[in-house]
Each structure stands twice: as structure tokens, then as C-alpha cells.
Structure 1
Amino acid sequence: MSIHEQLAFIKEIHPFENLTKSQLDDFVNNLDIVYFKKNIIIQEANKEPENLYFIIKGVVQEKKEEEVISIYSNKEIFDPFSLIENRSKNSFITAQETICYLLPKDIFIKTLHKNSSLESFFFQSISQKLNTNMVDQKNKELANLMVAKVKDVNLHKAVIVPYETTIFEAVKTIKKEKIPTLLLKNKDDEIYIVTDSDFREKVILNRMDFDDIVGKISSKGIKYINENEFLFNAQLLMTKYGLKRLVVKNNENEIIGIIDQISLSSFFATHSFSVSNEIDNAQNLEELKKVCLSFTKIIKSLHAKGVKVDFISKLINRLNRKVMDKLFNMLAPKTLLGNSCLIVMGSEGRGEQILKTDQDNALILSDECKISKKELFDFTQKFTETLVDFGFPRCEGNIMVSNPYWCRTKSEFKDLIYNWITNPSKDDYMNLAIFYDAMAASGNRELLIALKEYLFKIGSTSKTFYMYFAKTIMDFNVPLGFFDGFVFDSKDKEHKNEIDIKRGGIFIIVQSIRALSLEHKLMRVNTLKRVQELENKGELEAEFASEIKEAFNFLLTLKLKSNLQKLDSAQKVDNYIDPEKLNTMEKDLLKESFKIVNKLKKKLEHHYKLNYV
């Protein structure tokens, strides 16, 4: 290879793309090329290593006695950790003819201590490496979106005047201070807010006396956010409550400013706020459909800007629920309003569905709800068909409000839950899993809460039930072979040399965490939040919990990246990825993620004695 090719070769291997130009030159100037025949011991166990090896061609096995621990092939390195610890724990033996670059130990160690990126990488845990990759994969400047704080945005000045101030004096203050919003404080130190639009819509249109108290046109129920909170959390908070502004406080709990949608929109430039407003302002189905069809554009924009997948899913989930709520209130007969609860389930309920895959929804009616069967049937059919028209595909398993099985009174759902637990079939376990992930999208959420509390009560005495509930994971295999190679389904001709990342990783994490959460009677539905609560309860060790969260996010990110590429080329969105389209670092981290999935699976096997069920 030429020097240029050697430089390119080294830079392709993570984390050496972080080397400075002089460090890269130093590496290349000290490289030697070596050839090994098959079954040659390159590095012997318990001996002091002398070189770092970069494999150009061939395969090397890492062995502990006769057991193969790992396998290394083209554009991979071995063994930096032996050099760092100055002792090789295992032997490294060629499995076939192999050609390597070797770099002297002293050059590697010297560079390691001078390059903070290298040093942090080689001393990181698996979870830290995964997390680092989530940022490194994106443009560094744009990735700063996720670390931007509220205080990084231009805040409007917070001016507080007495509640009894006249409307005339309040307007003078707004003009003088050049602000769009004014805060009011009453005698009990309660804070109210009044905006420039309040003066137009409440004062002028109602012909109010300018000497009247401005407090009469103000609003309470202000939401606050700390200046050190992540900016994206401010966006989520506004979206969740349908707000246009938040009042900002410092660590001393003092009001220091006001952040509004315009400030955030200019910072993020994702149009997600305008979309949220368009949902609120939609007057008919066509307007609502138009808004809904713009979600994919938002997802692509956020993904391109380096926003982490869990934040994208949170935002899109809340926008989806706003659409569901708006649609429900547009179509539902008056009899249902206040007497029912529309719920979303499965990945949509957990807030983990990003691109629209299929509908998973149900309708809980209060026992007092008086609605005819025909009226209910007509509504549920139209609701499902409208969602299909909005881009939410029909559920292949028919888990939709249009199916009477998923449209019942509260008492009927109780009977259903009782049967799921006391006399379950295989489908019942899956139905219960889907229902346990339910989140209220519209209506009376107390109906859902009551059913989940009943679920916890009925299942509390049945240890055997939890065992069978968790056993589903045994039907799914992690696609990682004994020698760390990817395992493909030879029977699946359509997806030859591809991996079903949902079956092989995502589902196992979701179901494992769901089973533990159900046993602990957690109300949380989001997988990452369930992991955190299980850690808080001592069910998961802190490091393992961190590994699970990072592996889960990495798998979701790969899935999203793959599906966005498929959308761009007009292909069907699915759960398959081609490992050959991943770079070396992504392949390594995918293998590490699958190892974490395997570790979690083994924990569940032991915890529930699944091999004996």
C-alpha cells in the first residue's frame, strides 16, 4: 500500500479517525507489514505484548486455553487492552493465512496518552462507547442541539408588575420594555401571565375600560423550566401542554426570563412547533391529515441534526397522540366524550414508534356510557379508516378500535384481563403485554388507570404467570454466533444476509423489561423509564441498566437509519438491516449490543427459571 492508502486504512478503523495529522503520520512511519501462516500464535497468553496489530487480510482467533473467545478479521485490531495492561490474558492465533500491519507498543501508548479521544475510548465501558457513538455518528456542530441548554437561547426579559396594575399602564410597560409578555404578581405572590394577544382579543374586542385591572385578562397555570434544563426538554414540555411560552428560573428559583416558540423554532428549525399548532388549529379532517403527513419530514430533519432517537420518539409520540386526541374529538359521538378512553398500545403506547408502522389502539367505555351498538360501530369503523388514510397502516393482528374485541366497557375489560391471567393462551400473553403498554391518547384516563391497577391485583399472587409471560423471549434468538459472527436465517430467502433487528434484539429487551416491570407493578410504559425504575428498585445493577439503555437506543437508531434510507429509495419500511452496509464501528457496536441483549436474556432465564417452564 502507498502512504496515502495506509493513512486511509488507519482512519477507517475506529477510534483512530480521531488522530491528529502528525499522530497519523507517526503511525504510518512506524508501521511494518507481516505475514502469518495458518495456526500461528501471534501473541501468547500471559506474555508481555510488543505490538498492536491491524488486520489487512485474514482471520485471527482470541483463545482462552482451547475456547475461542472472539474473532478478528479485515480492518480490525488486536489487542490494545493487552498493551495497556502490559500482559496478554489470552492467546491470538491465526485461523487462516493472515497479513497485518504491526505498530510498536511504545508508539501506541505514547499516542494514547496524548490523544484524549483515544484514551477515553479505550478506558470506556461498553455503555459509554455506545453512547459516544450516538453523538459521533452525527455532525458535531448539529449534535450540539442535544446539549444546548435553555440559557443558550435568547430569552425575553421577565417584567413583573402588580396584579392590580391598570390595562393602560400595563400596555405602556410592554411598549417601554419592548417585550411581548408581562408577568403579574398578586398579594399572595402567585404569578399570572398576560400577552400582547390578550390585549387585542380580550380588551379591544370586548371594549374593556383601559383603567380596569389587567389581572382580569391574565392567565394562570404557568409552566416553569430551569435555565440549565436541556433545550429539547423545553420543546417537549411546550408540545405536551400545547403552550407557546415557558417561564425560566435559575437555581435560586428566581424568575430570569421567558422562552417562547419563536426562539425555539429559530434554534431548532424543525417546524415541530408550527406542526403542533396546526394540529390544534385544524378545522377539518383534510387539514389534520395534511399536518399528519408532515411527520416524516420532521423525523428526517431531527435525525439529520444528530438528535438522539429517544428524543425523536418522545416528540413524534406526543404529536401522534395530539392527532389521535384531535381526531377522536372530531369524530366521536357526544355520548363518548368524557365517558370513554381512547388508548394506544404496543410501541406507540411505549412512545417508541417513530415511523408509522401499524395501528395498535383500543377504546374503553365507562360502565355508565349509553351508546347504541350501531352508533359505536359506525364511529369505530370511521376512526380506523381515517387513521389508515392519515398514514397509519391497518394492524395485521386487528388490534384496533374497529375490532369489538378491543372496544369494551370497563367491566368487560376487567373480565378479559381476568381471563388473560387465570386461563391464558399464548395469544393472551401477547394481548396482555400489548395492553400493559397502553397509554391514554384521549378521554378519561382514569378508566385505563383503574384497569391497570386491577391487572396488578389479579396477577400479584401468580408467580407461575410471570414465568410464562416472560417465556416468550425464548422463542427469539439473538443473531450473534459463538464466534461473534452474525447469524442469518437461512430459510428467509427474501432477506438473505440480513438481520431482523427487532426479533433479534429490540423485542427481547422490550419483553424482558416488560416482564420485570409487570412483576414489580410499575405504571411506567416506556422501556427506558422502566429500566430506570428497575434500577432504582435494585432489580438491575447501575452499570447493566446503563448498558441496556444504550444498547436499546443504538438498536433503535440503526433501525431508524435503515428505514429512512429505504424511504428515500421507495422501499418498504421493515425491521431488517444489512450488516454489510454498516461501517466497522457500527458492526462492532452492534455485536456489543447483541451481547448485552444476550446477557439480559440469561438474567431472565435465571430469574424465572425459563428452562424449566
Structure 2
Amino acid sequence: MPEPFDTHSPPFDRLNVKQAKHLLSALDVAYYRRGDTLIDIGDKNSALNIVIKGRVQEVNPETKEIQAQYIKDDLFDARALLLGYSHHCYRAVEDTLCYVLPKAVFVALYEENQAFADYFNTSFSQRKRLLEKAQQQQNLAEFILTKVDESNIQPILTLDHDTSIHDATRQMHKQQQDCALVAMKGKSHDVGIITRTNLLHALVEDGCSQQHPVGEVATAPVISVEVGEFLFNVMILMTRDRVKRVRVTENGGTVGMLDMTQVLSLFSTHSHVLTLQINRAHTIEELALAANNQQQLVETLTNNGIHTQFVMELISAVNEQIIEKAFRLTMPEAFYDKCCLFVMGSEGRGEQVLKTDQDNGLVIADDADWPDVQHYMERFSEVLSRLGYPPCPGNVMVNNPRWVKTQAEWQKDILSLCQISDEGSLMDLAIIADSHAVAGNKALLDPVSALLRETLKGNMLALNTFVRPCLAFRVPLTLFGGLKTDKEGLDVKKGGIFPLVHGVRTMALENGLTETNTFDRLNALVKCNAMDQENANNLTEALKLFVKTRLRQQLDNDATTTGNQLDVTLLPRTERDLLRDCLSVVKKFKERLATHYQVRD
């Protein structure tokens, strides 16, 4: 006898109690021998099939191409039930046992229950979001969906520019507020902010009188967010810009204030506490203590069901602060503003979650005289290793003189690499294309990045070679549409992440886009009509799933490895299906890239 039918797995978990009972009462079991045709092309399918055991292949009879393979818990062919006929042929390649749900019952449930119908109607990216939503616990959904609104905004006092320090202090005390906004005049910013600390420093350290106008001691500009913004995004903003308070606006006008204490009372990630540890570190040893807490932050966010893209953004902000602080503690102060440290790879794109290899370079100002720069670069690389960032196997790091150049040398190097245009030189350009300045004089990187974009924009001859590495790795799908693994597992980086990221990077360079983050690049490609919205959505969701699945298995292994091999046997059926769909999305994307850039093997 087969196991009892599970009504708690998608999409059947969308049915109410009455509908689930109706489904169970209508189910039957069918047995098919190996070689039997369950549904043929053009057939008016009479039932929805859910595999209990065995294997079924979906074949396109015209091309003989195997479209998919169905195993335990997979269902088919709902499309034929809705359209009235089947587009493909379904054959048992093993002795197979299936639950069968009569068409009349399926259609009735489809028409009665919109959530159930949505599962079969939506695109891949929408279906993935539906499945993720179904898997989230209620408190986690509240965690991520909380927005800035009147329930969490604090009132804020607004003072005139000429209000005296004495009167400002009295008004702040009367309203029990430790800060106030100031309407500035004759300044480049309309609004400034004062705190009790500002006023104390003005009186004690600067010698201002109590009648001194607060507009002269206010800090500007004030970081602002709009009503309706996600509180999690506010936390990322506070972490990245290192501020404790943000002004809340609506249609340009001030409606209140949010402070970090409030945000932390709603969220338990303690990211700002980690940021304070980083800021207060005076030695490498103190910074290492803060860096070691980063792993716990990742685990907290992931275990709380926080969306992968949000985790990437927050961890990238924290990583950037750790690296910047390490650079500041290591470099001689005289040269700090004469150079720019930039990161590349996943850190440069803002897509790093766990600590990965060092990928960094240095731009030195043309007028800088720094003969012992390499000594400091070697020291800095050693410091990063102590903080948990292992050396790059390809030696793309600042202790390699190849990645330390003056601004003029970098520009000359980019032009030279573009002229050579072989795969090696263009892969170096691909690495540089994801550069993000994190320390020193960040403006030094801008002309280098701009020259790279200008040189490759619309350069289809160079991009024909540039795109090839992402076409070299095969997508790990079998001829039968199943997941292809070896004894080490499924390599999600080679088969999914790299071709997606590099393909999007190529399209971004072709169109001269300034974005470096893959998600931002996809949005920008849609805006410039280089990609349609559905394909961008599918690629976005695929990348998030690849990263999320890899991260979960890394954390389950106590993060002792940052390997890219997935053990697909550990995945539940719904996630296995999504992974297969994601890899199919990448496969189709690669086919479009090969056509667009006229790559023929």
C-alpha cells in the first residue's frame, strides 16, 4: 500500500480543510509498466498524476528532446487539464505507481481556490516566491514585512535656525527628546540635526554661549527614509552609513524620526552592535573579535528566514566596514588619502554572505611617492587572513604587485587588456568590472571604472570572447531533465551562479551600465530594454535560490567549508523542483547569450 497522501506539501497546502477532504476522497492509484505511455501528445488528459514511486519522462515527440523527468512526489500534467490537450508525451521509464486525481475534481478545486490556481498559473519566479512564502513562519513574515509607519515613528521637534542653544535645550527637555531637527538657512541643506551631545560639545569644547544659534552647530545632511520603507532596509542604511537616527519623510515633508534603539527592539540581528564593535576597534585584535561575530549574524538572519538578498546587502555592508577598518589600522596616515582600496568578486558585487577569498586591488594617486607600498600591502593581506579572509588562490590581491598600480597605470592596463582581447585578458577585465571602492580616497577608482565601461560598451567583438567562459560550464541537468550530480555533489557555482552572474555582467558592460550588483544590473537591463521583465525576474529568483541553498548547507556543516557542492539528496521535493527550474532558467539564458553574441562552438 502507498504512503498516505500528504496534503501539507505545495500546492495542496493551499486547500482548506473541506477541499483537502474532497481531494482525498477522490484520489485513486494507478500502476504503469515500464514503457507504458501515460499521456500522448494531443490527448485530452483525464487526471492529474502525482508520482508515488518510479520515473516518468516528458518527451517532445517532434524533436525527441526530453523536457523533464518526474520522480517521487512530482506531479503532471496540469497544463493539459487546463488547456484541454497535452503538448507532450509522458512515458514510464520504470515501473511506476501514481496517485490520480480526476480532472473534474482538479478543475473544481482550481476554480474555488485562487491560491491553489496561482501555483499552476504563475511564472517560475512568481511560483518560487509563493513557495517561499508558504514555508515562512508567521513571525518571520512579520519580521521582514514590517514597514515604517505611524506605529513605529517617533515624533521629532523641529527648531528654527536662530533658536538659541539655551532655548533648544529647554524645549528638548520639555518634550523628553534627545535630538531635534533644525531648519537651516543659507546652507546647502534644508534640514540639520542636533543632539544633546552636539549641544554639550558646543558649550564645553567650542566655547559657544547659551545664546548661540543651534543652526551653527547642527549636523547636515540628515539621512532620510520615506514612509512605507521596510524597517529592515532602514537597518541596512543605518549600518552602512553608521548613523543612529534617520529622519522619516512623506512627500518631502518631515513626519518623524527613527532611532537605532527602536529598530533593534523590533529585530534581533544586533547588526548595529557589531558595527559599533568595528568602529571602536583600535587594534587588529579588537577588530578580529568583531569579525568573528559576523558568522553568528549570518546564522541569525538565515535561521530567521530573512530574504537572501537582504542578507547579502547587510553582510556586504558589515564586510566593507571590517575591511575599511583593517586598512585604516594598517596604512600610514600620510598615504591613506593617496590611495584607494577596492574589492572585487562577490564582495565587489555586494553578493558575499560567508567570508570568501581575498579579491582586492589598489589604485595609487599619480602624484604619490610611496616607495615601500608593497611592504604595507603584504602586511594588509596578512591582517585580512587573521580576520578570516583566506588568500585568493588566483593571487588577485594587493600583496601581488600586479594588482597595485597608479591611476594612470590602471587606465593604460585596461586599454591594453581590451586590445589583446583573449580569454585571459578579458577575464581580468571581468574581475575589475565588479570593483567597488571600500577605503582610502574612493574617487580614485572612478576614472578607471569609467574607462573600462567606455571601452567595452557596444564592443561586440571583444564581448564575443568575454562571454565565452560562462558558456564553457555545462548546466548540471541530465538528458532526462533531472539534476546531474557526481560523488562530490552538484557544483552550483560552475553550473548556476557563475554563468548567470558573468552573463549578466557581459550584458551590463555591453550597455555601459554603472551597476556592479547582479540584482541591480538585472533591473537596469530591464530599464534600458536590454532584457524583458519576466526573464530578469526568473534570473533574480534563480540566483537567490542558488545562494540560499548553498548557504544553508554550508551552515549545516558548521561553515567549515565554503564549497559549492550541493548534496541534493538533502533537499525536500519542492526545493529540488525549484533547483531544477533554476538550472533550466540558466540553461535558456546561456542559449540566448550564445545567440546574441554569436558564439558558435
Q: TM-score surpassing 0.5?
A: yes
Residue 510 of structure 1: SS of its match in structure 2?
helix
Q: Structure 2 counterpart of 1:247, which letter?
A: R
- SS of the residue aligned with 1:307? coil
Question: Where in structure 2 are the equivalents of 1:508-527 lying within 5 Å?
Answer: 508-527=499-518
Instruction: Give the superposition deviation at 1:208.
Output: 4.4
CA distance in 2, matches of 1:152, 1:26: 44
Going from structure 1 to structure 2, the CA distance change for 1:411 and 1:83 (only over 3 Å counts) comes to: same
Work out the CA distance in 2 between the residues paired with 1:32 and 1:132.
Answer: 28
| Deviation (angstroms), 1:462 | 4.5
1:557-585 residue CA offsets vs partner (Å, 9 max, x unmatched)? 111111111226xx422111011111111
SS of the residue corresponding to residue 336 of structure 2 reads coil
**Counterpart among 102, 105, 108 of residue 104 in structure 1:** 102
1:532-554 Cα distance to aligned partner (Å, 9 max, x none): 11111211112111111111111
- SS, match of residue 369 in structure 2: coil
Match of 1:380 among 377, 380, 393: 377
| Partner residue of 2:579 out of 568, 585, 590 | 590
For the residues of structure 2 that align with 1:178 and 1:106, how far apart are their CA atoms?
66
Counterpart of 2:570?
581
Task: Give % identity.
Answer: 29
2:421–2:465 contact (8 Å) kept in structure 1: no
CA distances 1:82-106 after superposition (whole Å, capped 9, x unpaired): 2222333333222222111111222
Give distance in 2, aligned partners of 1:305 and 1:225. 25
Partner Cα separation in structure 2 for residue 88 and residue 586 of structure 1? 26
Match of 2:420 in 1: 423
Check the 8 A contact 2:456/2:512 in 1, yes or no: no
Q: Which amino acid aligns with 1:445?
A: K
Could you tell me how far apart the structure 1 residues matched to 2:451 and 2:290 are? Answer: 37
Aligned amino acid, residue 558 of structure 2: L
Residues 135 and 306 of structure 1 are in contact (CA less than 8 Å); yes or no, is this contact kept in structure 2? no
Q: Is the 8 A contact 1:60 1:92 kept in 2?
A: yes
Q: Unmatched 5+ residue regions in structure 1? A: none
The question of 1:116 aligning with 2:107 is answered: no
**1:168 deviation in Å?**
2.4
For 2:455 and 2:166, the matched residues in 1 are separated by: 62
Is 1:540 the counterpart of 2:539 in the alignment? no
- Deviation, 1:213, is 2.5
Q: CA deviation at 1:416?
A: 2.0
The residue matched to 1:611 in structure 2 has which SS?
coil
**Secondary structure of residue in 1 paired with 2:192:** strand
Q: What amino acid does structure 1 have at the position aligned with 2:211?
A: D
User: Relative to structure 2, which stretch is displaced further, 509-518 or 140-149?
Assistant: 140-149
SS of residue matched to 2:34: coil
Question: Where in structure 2 are the equivalents of 1:65-104 lying within 5 Å?
Answer: 65=61, 67=64, 68-104=66-102
Q: List aligned pairs for 1:469-508, cutoff 5 A.
A: 469-489=466-486, 493=487, 495=488, 498-508=489-499
* Cα 1:105/1:257, change in 2 over 3 Å: same
User: Partner amino acid for 1:34?
Assistant: A
Superposition pairs for residues 296-335 of structure 1, below 5 Å? 296-335=295-334
User: Bigger CA drift: 52-61 or 470-479?
Assistant: 52-61
Pairs within 5 Å for 1:388-407? 388-407=385-404
Q: Does 1:438 align with 2:435?
A: yes
Paired AA for residue 49 in structure 1 = N
Letter in 1 for 2:575: E
- Residue 191 of structure 1 is matched in structure 2 by 191
The offset of 1:461, in angstroms, is 7.5
- Output the CA distance in 2 between the equivalents of 1:152 and 1:269: 21
1:148: Cα distance to partner?
Answer: 1.6
The alignment partner of 1:391 has SS state of coil
Equivalent AA in structure 2 for residue 202 of structure 1: A
Larger displacement relative to structure 2 (501-510 or 471-480): 471-480
- Displacement of 1:465: 1.4
State yes or no: 1:357 paired with 2:318. no
- Where does residue 238 of structure 1 map in the other structure? 238
**Does the residue aligned with 1:326 lie in a helix, a strand or coil?**
helix
Give the alignment of 1:443-454 within 5 angstroms: 443-454=440-451
Letter in 2 for 1:145: F
The range that moved more, 187-196 or 263-272, is 187-196
Deviations 1:422-461 (CA, angstroms, capped at 9, x unpaired): 1244332221111111000112222211112222344458
Pick aligned residue for 1:561 from 552, 566, 572: 552
- Give the 5 Å matches for 1:269-284: 269-284=268-283
For 1:361, give the aligned amino acid.
N
Alignment-mate amino acid for residue 378 of structure 1: H
User: Gaps (5+ residues) in structure 2?
Assistant: none
TM-score by length of 2: 0.95
CA distance in 2, matches of 1:506, 1:460: 24
Structure 1 pair 115–180 and aligned structure 2 pair: CA distance change class (3 A): farther
Q: Secondary structure of 2:335's partner? A: coil
Q: Which shows bigger deviation, 559-568 or 498-507?
A: 559-568
Q: Name the residue aligned to 2:15.
A: 19
Q: Deviations over 1:71-126 (max 9, x none)?
A: 21211111122222233333322222211111122222222233332122111111
Within 2, Cα distance between the matches of 1:556 and 1:164? 53
Distance 2:151 2:335 in 1: 43
TM-fit CA distance, 1:339? 1.1
How many residues align? The count is: 597
The whole-number CA distance in structure 2 between the counterparts of 1:311 and 1:433 is: 25
1:127 Cα deviation (Å)? 1.3
Give the 3 Å change call, closer, same or farther, for CA 460–165 of structure 1 in structure 2: closer
Q: Which amino acid aligns with 2:515?
A: R
User: Could you tell me how far apart the structure 2 residues matched to 1:309 and 1:433 are?
Assistant: 24
Distance in 2, matches of 1:234 and 1:468, equals 41
SS of 1:160's partner is strand
**Alpha carbon RMSD of aligned pairs, Å?**
2.0
Measure the CA separation in 1 of the matches of 2:456 and 2:184.
50
1:172 and 1:457 map into 2 onto residues whose CA distance is 57
Match of 1:164 in 2: 162
CA distance in 2, matches of 1:317, 1:259: 23
Whole-angstrom CA distance in 2 between matches of 1:444 and 1:166: 37
Post-superposition shift, 1:165? 1.7
> Which range moved further: 224-233 or 158-167?
158-167
Q: What per-residue deviation string (whole Å, max 9, x for no partner) do you get for residues 398-441 of structure 1?
A: 11111111111112222322221112443322211111110001
TM-score between the two structures when normalised by the length of structure 1: 0.93
SS in 1 for 2:149: helix
Task: Mark the CA change 1:100 to 1:458 in structure 2 (over 3 Å): closer, same or farther.
Answer: closer
Q: Classify 1:603/1:81 alpha carbon distance in 2 versus 1 (closer, same or farther; 3 Å).
A: same
Q: Distance in 1 between matches of 2:310 and 2:274?
A: 17
Aligned mates of 1:486, 1:164 — CA distance in 2: 69
Kindly state the Cα deviation for residue 596 of structure 1 after the two structures are TM-superposed: 0.8
Over 3 Å counting, the alpha-carbon distance change for 1:135 and 1:385 in structure 2 is farther
Amino acid at match of 1:477: R
More deviation, 389-398/558-567: 558-567
Q: State the distance in 2 between where 1:486 and 1:17 align.
A: 25
- Residues 33 and 468 of structure 1, relative CA distance in 2, 3 Å threshold: same
Distance 1:271 1:401 in 2: 32
- Please tell me whether the aligned partners of residues 153 and 264 of structure 1 are also in contact (alpha carbons under 8 angstroms): no
Task: Give the SS at the match of 1:178.
Answer: coil
Shift of 1:232: 1.9
Aligned residues of 1:335 and 1:370 also touching (Cα < 8 A): no
Letter in 2 for 1:363: L
1:115-155 deviation line (CA, Å, top 9, x unaligned): 33212211111111122334333323213332221116522
4+ aligned runs moved over 6 Å, structure 1: none
SS of the residue 1:62 aligns to: strand
